[in-house]
Amino acid sequence: MELKLITANLGKINPSSIDDYLAHGGYRALQRVCDATETVSFTHDLKAAGLVGRGGAAFSTGLKREMAIRAEPTHPYPAPEWIPERYRYSSSFVVCNADESEPGTFKDRLLLEGDPFCIIEAMTITAFLACATVGFIYLRGEYPLAYERLTHALRVARERGYLGKRILRDDFAFDIEIRRGAGAYICGEETALFESIEGKRGEPRAKPPFPTDKGLFQRPTIINNVETFANIPFITLEGAQAYRRYGTKQSPGTRIVCVSGAAQKPGAYEIEMGTPLRYVIEELAGGLKPERTLQAILIGGAAGVFLKPDEIDVPLAFESLDAIGATFGSGAIVVLDDTAKMWGVLLRLARFFRNESCGKCLPCQIGTQRQLEILERMTQGRSRKLEQTDISPEELRLLRDTGAVMRDASLCGLGQTASNAILSAFDKKLIL
Amino acid sequence: MSDVTLTIDGQLTIVPQGATILQAARRLDKQIPTVCYHPHFTPPSLCRVCVVEVENARVLAPACSRIVENGMRVQTDSARVQRARKGLLEMLDSAVDLSDAPEIQAYANAYGAEPARYGAQIKRRAFPLFDDNPFYIRDYTKCIMCWRCVQACGEDAQYTFAIHRAGRGFDAHIATFENVPLPESTCVYCGNCVQACPSGALKPRREYWLEHGLDLKELARVSQLERREKSGDAK
Ligand SMILES: Cc1cc2nc3c(=O)[nH]c(=O)nc-3n(C[C@H](O)[C@H](O)[C@H](O)COP(=O)(O)O)c2cc1C
Ligand code: SF4
Ligand code: SF4
Ligand code: FES
């Protein structure tokens, strides 16, 4: 079912007005945290709420926060010279990942454009609990309106005392800076994002150490997706019990899905976890155009997998998607009807990964290029559908081997998932 | 510092905290192939040839940089590990001229890599020879992108920062800033990068040209001329 938990304010409040935000319950959560006599319970509550990251990796948000709070400060003070002066005295950092570059994903943009104060409040809550004094929003470069609204919101929040020194109490200071991406998909990967903020090449670091131990400027860092942050004010105010009323037992809460492709009403819809995919496509997104039939669904973005038409009844929750070998990923749902050229889609995906590989590690640097070349060879001079016999078993094995090596040996999630969608199309016989 | 107990290929072993899987394995005389790892540099963990299987981990782990943990169970030569290494060496061989890298070739043979599987119509690393200074040549067709030269030039040794990484994906390569000839870069000709290069992409100029049939006299003449040109007194 559609359920407006975190998108309730979108289109209802004026995103440029902090008074409007306050009138709709804004900053009550931050007030509650700042007034509390003990703060451990908030992080316990977040853990108990069962919120997991919405950026793709689905890691427990509460656990992440707890790990960062518990991390040993790694630097002797004063911090090394190479950390810019104004960041040196923040013992940890809070970062909002708003790079949103997963193909078919546009939910973060709507949240930032429609309710920027909510994200700022959530980051401020997190900063208070993790004793961070500096936060960053890493914003996709192609989002000028979000940039404008965020910049405005940050300025207003500062003027009204919700950012800067003495936020709601004498001993709490926190401020947020925006960093704009320059169009590289890889800079959405958390450690590449840190490198980018530090002014280096956007290349992922080997993990571990994880960001909660050594993140931005080698300090413990809490990095979350925009949608993840959007859940935090609600959970902070209402508690885990209230949050768990929504969704399934293992996937509490809601999720914003981004439907695109051959649907009649493509768009972003906030749904309760566990809503069947069929309901999203047929009811919310208005189904296919008349006289078209469903060919396949790409779920989770370019790093996701294809579903067959007969898998459309799967409930959209982490556990049920897991059970059929799919992932929720970024929440992207690309609908392909019978007019879509599957081979073209696969080539596009392969080209995307080839173009977006940062080139740091060998398997992805060479593997994404080879994957594309193999697919190009397979499709050369052929039209839409191939017969089973058109593909030599050796070529197919080579494609699978290349994919397996990338998945097993790549340094970051890009290379590890670069073959998922493509191989799933073969596994499910969507192109033969 | 306390010690860490872990199992490598079924063998229980105790190593100091902070050791890498590679160090622990070497103590047990286990051979793990490495390509980008250099004992004096920060491991960039990028060639992935050293990957091993850590129980319950989703993906393989680079032995050269992964720090051991208590109770870790590691397989250094499982079927999955072998498949990955074979595949990696195959990819490397399909993209780079390894003729001057006997060690990597030996690994490729040992793991049964068949780079020819990728066919002939594939993109390979191709760069013109950079012979722009009297000391060493840069033949990036042989470059495996291990970053050692960049590390040697920069933060792990010389702090000169004359060479960097440029480009992305398959087109990632090593270059001077703005691709200027080496004499115009900050290079101080310490030779650290040449020492560190495992693939023969960086080589003393004299060695390179001798290998390519130029005799010593001719070589000396050429470089003298160049040197004079550079100092501006080519009369
Ligand atoms: C190649 C790649 C691209 C990514 N891009 C994004 C992105 O655009 N936005 C995002 O929130 N997370 C992205 N992630 C996931 C982040 O690395 C990280 O898991 C996430 O920011 C953590 O936040 P969460 O726990 O709230 O999901 C990407 C990961 C990879 C491997
Ligand atoms: S997997 Fe790809 S994107 Fe990730 S570090 Fe390796 S080359 Fe870069
Ligand atoms: S030039 Fe040599 S040392 Fe530098 S990256 Fe290439 S192979 Fe490594
Ligand atoms: S030797 Fe470990 S990644 Fe290269």
- Ligand 4 atom closest to B34 (CA): 1
pLDDT, tens digit (0-9, with 9 covering 90-100), for B127-180: 999 999 989 999 999 999 999 999 999 999 999 999 999 999 999 999 999 999
Every domain of chain B and the residues it spans: 1-124, 129-234
Looking at the predicted structure, is the pLDDT value of residue B233 above 60?
no
Which amino acid would we find at residue A253? G
The pLDDT value given to residue A77: 62
Are A352 and B159 in contact by the 8 Å Cβ rule? The answer is no
Every domain of chain A and the residues it spans: 18-244, 254-337, 347-427
> Which residues of chain B does A201 touch, with a Cβ-Cβ cutoff of 8 Å?
165
> Which residues of chain B does A360 touch, with a Cβ-Cβ cutoff of 8 Å?
44, 46, 172
Neighbour tally for A295: CB within 10 Å: 21
Judge: B91–A355 Cβ closer than 8 Å, yes or no.
no
The pLDDT value given to residue A406: 98
| Cβ of residue B67 closer than 8 Å to a chain A Cβ | yes
Spelled out in words, what is the top-level CATH class assigned to the domain B129-234? alpha beta
| Cβ of residue B95 closer than 8 Å to a chain A Cβ | yes
pLDDT, tens digit (0-9, with 9 covering 90-100), for A176-213: 999 999 999 999 999 999 999 999 999 999 999 999 99
Are B69 and B176 in contact by the 8 Å Cβ rule? The answer is no
The pLDDT value given to residue B235: 40
Q: What residue of B is the nearest CA neighbor of A375?
A: B118
Residues in chain A: 432
CATH fold for the domain made of A254-337: Ubiquitin-like (UB roll) (3.10.20)
- Ligand 1 atom closest to A186 (CA): 1
The closest of B109, B122, B124, B96 to B197, measured between CA atoms, is: B96
Sequence-distant (≥ 6) Cβ neighbours of residue B28 within 8 angstroms: B8, B9, B11, B13
Spelled out in words, what is the top-level CATH class assigned to the domain A347-427? mainly alpha
Is the CB of residue B36 below 6 angstroms from any atom belonging to ligand 3? no
Rounded to the nearest angstrom, the distance between the alpha carbon of B95 and the centre of ligand 3 is 14
Is the CB of residue B107 below 6 angstroms from any atom belonging to ligand 3? no
For A205-349, strand residue ranges (E) read 221-225, 254-261, 267-272, 294-299, 305-307, 332-337
The pLDDT value given to residue A150: 98
Report the CATH number of the B1-124 domain. Answer: 3.10.20.740
Report the CATH number of the A18-244 domain. Answer: 3.40.50.11540
A161 Rama sector, left if φ>0, alpha if ψ -120 to 50, beta otherwise: left
CA distance A239 to B155: 48
ipTM: 0.93
> Which residues of chain A does B122 touch, with a Cβ-Cβ cutoff of 8 Å?
369-370, 373
Q: pTM surpassing 0.90?
A: yes
User: Whose alpha carbon is nearest atom 23 of ligand 1?
Assistant: A224
Judge: B48–A363 Cβ closer than 8 Å, yes or no.
yes
Judge: B145–A359 Cβ closer than 8 Å, yes or no.
yes
- Adjacency order of strands within the sheet including A267-272: A267-272, A254-261, A332-337, A294-299, A305-307
CA distance A336 to A431: 13
Which amino acid would we find at residue B211? E
What are the beta bridge partners of residue B25? none
CA dist B152 to A403, B63, B171, Å?
33, 22, 22
Number of H helices, E strands in chain A: 16, 9
Looking at the predicted structure, is the pLDDT value of residue B77 above 60?
yes
Neighbour tally for B157: CB within 10 Å: 17
Q: Is the dihedral of CA A7, A13, A15, A21 positive or negative?
A: negative
Coil, strand, or helix at residue A431?
Answer: coil
Looking at the predicted structure, is the pLDDT value of residue A224 above 50?
yes
How many angstroms separate the CA of residue B135 from the nearest CA in chain A? 28
